Amino acid sequence: MQLGTKLSLFTCSLLAFGTAQAEDYVNVQYVHYDEDSGRTTVMSPALEISKDFGTDYTLKASFVADSISGASPTWYDGSSGASAFSRGTTAVENVTYGNIEYDDTRTAGAIALTTRFASRDELSVGYSRSYESDYESNELSAEYLYNLDSSRNRTLSFGLSYQLNRVLAQDYTSNKDRLRDDDDDDDNDNDDYDTSSGASKALDVNVITAEIGFTQIMNAHSLAKISVFFINEDGYLSNPYMNVVRYYNQNGSGTADIVSDSKPDTRTAYGLTLQYIGALSDALSLNTSYRFYNDDWGIASHTLNTELYYEYGDDWIFGAGLRYYIQSEADFYNERQDYFTDETYASSDRRMSDFDALAYKLSARYRVNDDWSVNTGVSYYEQSKHFDALYYTVGLKYNF
């Protein structure tokens, strides 16, 4: 079902809980995510291991297994059943918008090696792989951390990654066939899949991400970071499980075409991230950030995130956070059934719509002894238009 990068990043952020300093550890986490109305449920156990080899090398490895089930809303032909592949020309009374049930599993693994040189500059290289029944991803990444002074109070970071994703797209319609075919020109015939058997085709997506960051340690209790990023995606970027309606009752025909989602085959994005981490008192610390994102699909977004952590005694850390997100809609998005006709690009994928969202977070960590600690957290996600979600985490960490 193409859980993709977002869930991976979410899980990795949980694994990073309390692991900023160099140490040897095994970290086990479990994430449970539920959207309202039974839309989506995700169960995700994860494991991370970190091992230092002297003072110059750190090796990290992680593994995640996700199970997802639920229902996703899209247009379909109600006369042929509730399926993402119920497409074709149908009577207008059969045009239906509803939830399509799905379930899938994903396994993902990553490994990264950090090398520290005599100058204490750092080079980190990594490889990650993710696999689902209809999607696989392989990524190579590298980051270089350069110290601008001998005290290491100012650093520059340079990051670059290349990701090759492969999508198994059923009933795929290529760019040249996104318009209605009303003639007998063979050049417009769909040759990308077998219409009689419904055979699938593997289609590639190439993603290049580059980021440059500057970090300044301001004093013994705080630091600030600014980074800029660039993302380029090329390949099959449509969603094979999303449909749109075209030619709805055009000229009183009484029919409509239900066809697959069609997004551009390239996407270029850039943005900026600002972050501040500081101690407000001996026991209270603040981690706050702002992220701006903009792409050539017409989507611009802003993310504000603030987290407070309170140390109670020697063993407890309590956390509370608030995250606000807002985005504009893509140029080719519309949710109505009577909007699209012969547009090259068309999507009713709600992720392309304009919306805003709030996430409320609470967490706690307890240090059992010098070797063992446990953590738990709960978050409530509230979106302005489409759904709300609740997710919780529990974890166990062993330092060795």
Residue 14 has pLDDT above 90, yes or no: no
Residue 85: what pLDDT?
83
pLDDT tens digit sequence for 46-65: 999 999 999 999 999 999 99
CA dist 305 → 69, 147, 286, 287, 392 (Å): 29, 27, 11, 8, 18
Q: Give me the DSSP letters along 123-177.
A: EEEEEEEEEETTEEEEEEEEEEEEESSTT--EEEEEEEEEEEEEEEEET---GGG
Residue 94 has pLDDT above 50, yes or no: yes
Asked if residues 76 and 98 have their Cβ atoms less than 8 Å apart, the reply is yes
Residue carrying the six token digits 């709030």: 358
pLDDT tier, 113 (very low <50, low <70, confident <90, very high otherwise)? very high
d(CA 245, CA 338): 7
Residue 4 phi, psi (nearest 5): 70, -155
Residue 2: what pLDDT?
56
Residue 213: what pLDDT?
99
E-only strand ranges, 93-134: 95-116, 122-132
Residue 28: what pLDDT?
98
Choice between 150 and 186, residue whose per-residue pLDDT is larger: 150
d(CA 102, CA 352): 21
Average pLDDT over residues 118-129: 97
Percent of the chain with pLDDT over 70: 87
Residue 304 has pLDDT above 80, yes or no: yes
pLDDT tier, 170 (very low <50, low <70, confident <90, very high otherwise)? low
Residue 174 has pLDDT above 70, yes or no: no
Where exactly are the structural domains of the chain? 70-96+110-399
For domain 70-96+110-399, the CATH architecture is Beta Barrel (2.40)
